[in-house]
Amino acid sequence: MKIIADLQIHSKYARATSKDISFENLEKYARIKGIDLLGTGDFQHPKQYKDIINSVREDENGILWTKTNFPFIWQTEVSLMFSQGGKRRAVHLLIYAPNRAVADNIIAYLGGLGRLDYDGRPIFGISCKNLTRDLKRIDEMIEVIPAHCMTPWFGVFGSDSGFDSLGECFEEQVENIHAIESGMSADPSMLNRLKENVNIVSFSDAHSFWPWRIGREATVFDIANLSYENIIKAIRTSSGLAGTIETYPEYGKYHFDGHRNCKFSCAPQRTKQLNSICPICGKPLTIGVEYRIEELAKEKSGYVAKNKVPFSKLLPLHELCAYAYKSSMTTKKTWNIYNLIIEKAGSELNALLHAKEDIFEEAGANRELVELIFASREGKLSIKPGYDGEYGVIEAPGSNESKKSEGQNKLF
């Protein structure tokens, strides 16, 4: 069975998140999006833990079901800030638990490291190596995955406080790291150049339930039946890992180098010419993902990895509707055409990946939107790259065409 999963969610108890996040809203918009499985988010937070227990029931396979039969798994994210190798480090890690009993043990352990009630994504002063070691001692089926692995501030490979390799970060515990999460500013074709011996997964890091956030990145599993064990087996071995759904890397907030306050951004070649100094304010630029990839890559651009899972690059349908109708993503105009398309296509991901042209015509979509959807599907959107916390922006379909990445758009 095919399962499209978004396993990096935050609760309303995390900073900078919607206060209306609930299991009801997550389920509603996951179904609209076309997502089949979600992470609970922030399970160690006392209030979120209570919400989980009151909202879902756990089956014998470690799957949590709502009253209307939508599945979740135990998931959280932690922020580790520590010193290693004479340098300040900051890394976000995703943690998955096979059942409530193990989740309870993880909560007890994390509670010994620091407070759990002030933020849904708590900060601990422990190394990635030691946290992974301790979690594996609790239960071997706990899974640890570095989140948004390339972002400057909290990615395991980040330019500001990350490492040059997984081995450098996790040392002898690297054998327990089976996957990295791509993040929005990178895709598998970029990460494969690092030649780390791990699989690549992709999740949204959603801070709200809206469909332009939830499921904007996801992982597709092809497994016999839905169980925590089968999901983790696929992540660890790639057997059953059918591929990932990615945003265009240029759309991510940290793809290029730059300064948001100075409204300046540039590609790595220009950054080198500037000696990484902003020409507007004279301070060091925030170094983005593309630059960092070039620093760490063991293979040249265009490298094709063998036996790697495929992926598709897409932009959220709300983003495409807003561009085509000269509106914002939250306006009534955008919602109207979005809802008409969903009514015809069944879900957003089905519309973006599979729907034929007549579906959009029946929904009343204008010609520009139809062309945008197909350009997105085919890897032909042109995106002005995001930088220093600013999202990338659609420029025009087909003009200055984005380079189509190897393995792209072969998921289904």
| Beta-carbon count within 10 A of 388 CB | 22
Is a pLDDT exceeding 50 seen at residue 400?
Answer: no
What pLDDT is recorded for position 372? Answer: 96
For 228-252, what is the mean pLDDT?
Answer: 97
Give Cα separations from 363 to 34, 323, 332, 339 (angstroms): 18, 17, 16, 9
In 248-361, DSSP assigns E strands to: 257-259, 264-266, 311-313
**Residues 36-53: tens digit of each pLDDT:** 999 999 999 999 999 999
Which residue do the tokens 């999460």 mark?
A: 181
Q: How many CB atoms neighbour CB 212 within 10 A?
A: 24
Residues 356-384 have pLDDT tens digits of: 999 999 999 999 999 999 999 999 999 99
pLDDT per residue as tens digits for the range 101-138:
999 999 999 999 999 999 999 999 999 999 999 999 99
pTM here? 0.96
Confidence class for position 411, pLDDT limits 50, 70, 90: low
Task: Report whether CATH 3.20.20.140 matches the domain 2-250.
Answer: yes
For the segment 47-64, the average pLDDT, to the nearest whole number, is 98
Residue 95's φ and ψ, nearest 5 degrees, are -130, 130
Question: What angle (nearest 5°) sits at the alpha carbon of residue 347, between those of residues 342 and 352?
Answer: 90
- Residue 306 confidence class, pLDDT cut points 50, 70, 90: confident
Mean pLDDT, rounded, for 71-81: 98
Using an 8 Å Cβ cutoff, are 276 and 284 in contact?
A: yes
Q: For position 410, what pLDDT does the model report?
A: 55
Q: CA 13 from chain center: how many Å?
A: 19
pLDDT of residue 86: 95
Residue 232: CA atoms inside 13 Å, Cβ hemisphere, count? 24
Q: For residue 339, how many other CB atoms are within 10 A of its CB?
A: 12
Question: How do residues 183-238 score in pLDDT, each as one tens digit?
Answer: 999 999 999 999 999 999 999 999 999 999 999 999 999 999 999 999 999 999 99
pLDDT at 408: 56
pLDDT reading at 308 higher than 90: no
Residue 281 DSSP label = T
